Amino acid sequence: MSQKQYSVPSMNDIEPRLDDVDDDGGRSCADSIDSDLKAKPTNTLGSVQLRNPITNDVILVPTPSNDPNDPLNWSRGYRIYIALISCAAIFMAQFLAAGPSVDMIEIVEDIFGISPSDPGYSSALAKMSYAFSGASLAQGMSNLIYMPLIIKYGRRPVYIISFLIYGGCSLWAGLAKGYSSELAARLVMGFAGGSAECVAPLTIADTFFLHERGLIMSYYSAALSCGVSGGIILSGLVTIHQSWRVVYYVAAGMIWTLVLLIIFTMPETAYQRNAPDPPEEPNKASDEPQATHRETAIPPKKSYSQQMRLFNPAFTQESLLTLFWRPVPLLFLPSVLWGTLAMSVAIGTFVAISSNFATAFTATYNWSTWQCGLTYIAVLIGATAGVYGGGLLSDKIADWLTQRRDGIREPEMRLPTVTISLILCPVSLILYGVGIQNSLHWIVPVIGLGLLGFVITQVSNVALVYAIDAHRPIAGEVVVSQLSFKGVF
First to last CA, the chain: 28
Give pLDDT tens digits for 243-279: 999 999 999 999 999 999 999 999 999 887 765 444 4
Give pLDDT tens digits for 330-353: 888 888 888 888 888 888 788 778
At 51, is the secondary structure helix, strand, or coil? strand
Long-range contacts made by residues 374-378, C-beta under 8 angstroms, separation at least 24?
Answer: 374/233, 374/236, 374/237, 375/442, 375/445, 375/446, 375/449, 376/228, 376/229, 376/232, 376/233, 376/449, 377/229, 377/233, 378/446, 378/447, 378/449, 378/450, 378/453
What is the per-residue pLDDT for 253? 96
Rounded-to-integer distance, Cα 394 and Cα 211, Å: 10
The residue with greater pLDDT, 444 or 101, is 444
The residue count of the chain comes to 489
The residue with greater pLDDT, 196 or 32, is 196
Amino acid at 245: R
CATH of domain 71-271+316-488: 1.20.1250.20
Bridge partners, 58 (sequence order)? 51
- Residue 413 vs residues 356, 392, 447, 467: alpha-carbon distances, Å: 37, 13, 30, 12
Backbone angles phi and psi of 338, in degrees to 5: -60, -45
Average pLDDT, the chain: 81
Which strand (E) or helix (H) includes residue 48? Answer: strand 48-49
Which strand (E) or helix (H) includes residue 230? Answer: helix 213-238
Mean pLDDT of the 224-244 span = 89
Bridge partners, 51 (sequence order)? 58
Give pLDDT tens digits for 9-51: 433 443 434 344 444 444 444 444 343 434 444 445 556 666 6
Give pLDDT tens digits for 163-175: 999 999 999 999 9
At 49, is the secondary structure helix, strand, or coil? strand
What is the per-residue pLDDT for 387? 85
Rounded-to-integer distance, Cα 63 and Cα 68, Å: 14
- Residue 58 is classified by DSSP as B
Ordered by start, the domain boundaries in the chain are 71-271+316-488
Mean pLDDT of the 452-469 span = 88
Bridge partners, 409 (sequence order)? 48
What is the per-residue pLDDT for 277? 44
The residue with greater pLDDT, 137 or 246, is 246
Rounded-to-integer distance, Cα 94 and Cα 218, Å: 16
Largest CA distance in the chain: 101
The residue with greater pLDDT, 45 or 320, is 320
Which strand (E) or helix (H) includes residue 152? Answer: helix 143-153
**Of the candidate ranges 48-57, 233-242, 405-414, 436-445, the one whose mean pLDDT is the lowest:** 48-57
Rounded-to-integer distance, Cα 221 and Cα 339, Å: 13
What is the per-residue pLDDT for 27? 43
Which strand (E) or helix (H) includes residue 261? Answer: helix 245-265
Mean pLDDT of the 381-392 span = 87
Please list the alpha-helical segments (H only) found in 275-333. Answer: 304-307, 320-325, 327-330
